[in-house]
Amino acid sequence: MTRDKINKTLSPPPLFIVISGPSGVGKDAALDKMKKAGFPFHYVLTATTRPKRQGERDGVDYQFLSEEKFRQMIKTNQFLEWAKVYGNYYGVPKREIKEALKAGLDTIVKVDVQGATTIKQILPDAVFIFLMPPSIGELANRLKQRHGLSSPDLDLRLNKAQEEIESLPLFDYVVISHTDGLDLTVTQINAIVTAEKCRLKPRVVTL
């Protein structure tokens, strides 16, 4: 093994990390906690056409777009992946990821399980982390809090979550999204990134 190769091993290329899991599992909460803890990642902003929820800000929580703008970006191939979910468009803008990786930043993106499946086909060397609810009952509780007990969305989402758990095999890691604070969840995600950076055979993502 040449010294060049060794040096290369020791300064690994930036990682592209895909955080996924069922709706309601706590993806946003986990990422918020990581941002607040100051983990040095580039967090990719998802674009969406869904209405802002209370407290959400454009350019901070999502990139809120009109349907017209979103469709135009689809046409010009500007999304790594996009989907229409529960009547709204969601998409991961390609350019932002390209620029972050080029700048050498570990880049993290949050997508639904269908999105992760698509990204796996395009970038198999990304790091795929599945956020798993502690139980389906616990997931139901969280969704009830958000959508209300009698919401027609509830059953739809729970059934979908069960389906999504079937996609587990495409992921590299599974991390439980614990109810009582996300400290352990965030510690585990951070450990995964640290470990991946020590891998002898680094993953190389080219976009």
Binder to a copy of itself among 78, 165, 178, 207 (CB under 8 A)?
Answer: 165
**By CB under 8 A, residue 78 contacts a copy of itself:** no
Binder to a copy of itself among 68, 87, 169, 206 (CB under 8 A)?
Answer: 169
**By CB under 8 A, residue 85 contacts a copy of itself:** no
Q: Count CB-CB contacts under 10 A for residue 178.
A: 17
**By CB under 8 A, residue 37 contacts a copy of itself:** no
Closest to a copy of itself by CB, 103 vs 195, is 195
**By CB under 8 A, residue 103 contacts a copy of itself:** no
Binder to a copy of itself among 42, 123, 171, 182 (CB under 8 A)?
Answer: 171
Distance CA 131, CA 140 (A): 15
CA atoms within 13 A on the CB side of 147: 18
140: enclosing H helix or E strand? helix 136-147
Strand partners, 85: 88
| 149 Cβ contact list (under 8 Å, min separation 6) | none
By CB under 8 A, the count of residues binding a copy of itself is 28
Amino acid letter, residue 17: I
| 181 Cβ contact list (under 8 Å, min separation 6) | none
Closest to a copy of itself by CB, 19 vs 47, is 19
Chain residues in the site for a copy of itself (CB under 8 A): 1, 6, 9-10, 129-130, 132, 165-166, 168-169, 171-176, 187-188, 190-192, 194-196, 198-200
